[in-house]
Amino acid sequence: MNCATRLVDIFGSQAEVARRFSLDRAVVNHWVKVGYVPARWAMEVEQVTAGQITAVEVLNEATACKPLKLKSRPDGENLIDSTLTRSIAMNPYAPSKRIGSFHPPRRTLMGPGPTEIHPRVLTTMSQPAIGYLDPVFVEMMDELKALLRYAYQTKNPLTFPISGPGSVGMEYCFVNLVKPGDKVIVCRNGVFGGRMIENVERCGGIPVVVEDQWGEPVDPQKLEDALKKNPDARVVAFVHAETSTGVLSDAKTLVAIAHKYNALTIVDAVTSLGGSPVLVDEWGIDAAYSASQKCLSCTPGLSPVTFSEKVVDYVKARKDKIHSWFMDMNLLLGYWGESTRTYHHTAPTNSLFALHEALLLIREEGLENAWARVRRDHVALKAGIEAMGLKFFVKEQYQIPQMNAAVCPEGVNEAEVRKRLLSEFSIEIGAGLGPLAGKIWRFGLMGYSCRPANVMLCLSALGSVLDDMGYPVHVGDAEAAAHGAYAAMHAEEAKSKKKRDAVKAAA
């Protein structure tokens, strides 16, 4: 006898079972028909039958018949709830749903972030909580700052993670560097440049916009022309890696031009940090911000920032009151600065443990190796995508290896492809934003998500979905092209290693 029929046997009828569990009779009838009681009822079954049927028996039987799947059910159906807590039912707050523990599905995250998170980072994040001024935590903060300096390639003492996503890091830079009346040149070639303009306006600054086409990098000549016309511009801001289009701009050149005209620079390194070189000191970047959920492959919600001494001195000398209390650098220095550690806000401690571990993984791999890994997987992914007959949105020399934008072919339903990748293969890729909505797909190769296995799975799934939707693609061509690209790169690497070894031996 299975658990469902045993229940009927114990209580005499399906109707009585339904009554005991506060359920509709049809539900019990369904249990009997399918031959098991769903796993989520295990505890209640043990309780209602006073142990005659144990929870383990229900679980074992249910998982054998049907792999465990959690599902919402109406509030009040849970016997324990209804007998003990009916007077404080959830109905007024969540009418149609019984709320249980949340178990996210396993996904292959190949979009513009968040990325998959390395098991070591997840484990670290689940360590016991400690206070944000605990001496052990304070020691970890110093290490975290050092690891971030490594990622940013800077000696800037003020390099730390802001509590908040990349957008908070962006706002933090503008709030501190732009005061009312300041002229700020913002280079816009995608969504995120547009957000910078919003920030300038909200700080009371005057934005001067240097426009470039979406899909093109920021044009250094246009920036120089704008600075010539606006020699009083105090700040130049631009996005290094424009996630919305997949374009990498030449940050080194843009910063050099800004400095020629005595302007400070704010650089958005949200998608570039950890995936492509961001050489803060070598390029002379004054202020930069990033986000934890991109190439650092950590949980979202932290925004690593770095500020040159020049910026810190400027903010310290500001006579006006910075209009955001939370973001006032002068106040936050008390927590993240060099000498003191006093309360500013309650830091997200476990997320910071996680970032420490994520950065440690990058340190162990080596920053250059991380960049090279992203480049290798980009070359393979690109070979596969092009073998399917799809085109990249951005010219080769400006492509961000960790953010690959491919054009959705005429007649293919862009959203349907993403939907099917998610539902059939559990793969998430990104959609186009703003004017590119419905026109491109964005394939991320960021952090822990950037692995050959993910590249191959993604190509194979995409080929299968496109083929099924009637797009003329040869299933298997993409995988073969990607394999070929990896093989060529391995052969090249082996050749260079041989040469290096020969030089070493001769020395």
Footprint on this chain of ligand PLP (rule: CB under 6 A): 112-113, 165-167, 170, 192, 239, 243, 268, 270-271, 291
- CB nearer to ligand PLP: give 167 or 253: 167
CA-derived radius of gyration, the chain: 28
Q: From CA 362, how far away is CA 106, in angstroms rounded? A: 24
440-444: strand order across its sheet: 403-407, 440-444, 430-431
Nearest distance, CB of residue 125 and ligand PLP, angstroms: 17
Determine the Cα–Cα distance for residues 289 and 418; give it in Å rounded to an integer: 30
Q: Strand pairing of 264-268 and 287-289?
A: parallel
Of the pair 166, 207, the CB lying nearest ligand PLP is at: 166
Peptide bond into 119 cis (omega under 30): no
Q: 162 has which bridge partners? A: 303
Q: Which residue is nearest to ligand PLP (CB)?
A: 166
Nearer to ligand PLP, 429 or 465 (CB): 429
Q: What is the smallest separation between the CB atom of 162 and ligand PLP, expressed in angstroms?
A: 11
- Measured from the CB atom, is 165 or 476 closer to ligand PLP? 165
Q: Which is nearer to ligand PLP, 165 or 452 (CB)?
A: 165
DSSP H or E run through 126 = none
First-last CA distance in the chain? 79
Comparing CB distances to ligand PLP, the nearer of 168 and 332 is: 168
Minimal distance in Å, beta carbon 292 to ligand PLP? 8
Query: Please, what is the minimum distance in Å from the beta carbon of residue 16 to ligand PLP?
Result: 54
In the complex, least distance from residue 118 CB atom to ligand PLP, rounded to whole angstroms: 19
Q: Measured from the CB of residue 205, what is the shortest distance to ligand PLP in angstroms?
A: 18
> d(Cα 385, Cα 442) in Å, to the nearest integer?
12
Q: Which is closer to ligand PLP, CB of 429 or CB of 473?
A: 429
The encoded tokens of residue 146 equal 């050092």
Long-range CB contact pairs, 318-326, < 8 A, 24+: 318/179, 320/179, 320/180, 322/175, 322/176, 323/175, 323/203, 324/171, 324/175
Tell me whether residue 291 or residue 407 sits nearer to ligand PLP (CB atom).
Answer: 291
Instruction: Give the shortest CB-239-to-ligand PLP separation in angstroms.
Output: 5
- Phi/psi for 19 (5° steps) reads -65, -45
Least CB distance to ligand PLP at residue 196 (A) = 9
Q: How far is the CB of 462 from ligand PLP (least distance, A)?
A: 22
**Helices 452-468 + 414-425 axis angle, to 10:** 120
Main-chain dihedrals φ then ψ at residue 290, nearest 5 degrees: -140, -165
Would you say 380 and 169 are in contact if contact means Cβ atoms under 8 Å apart?
A: no
Nearer to ligand PLP, 168 or 462 (CB): 168
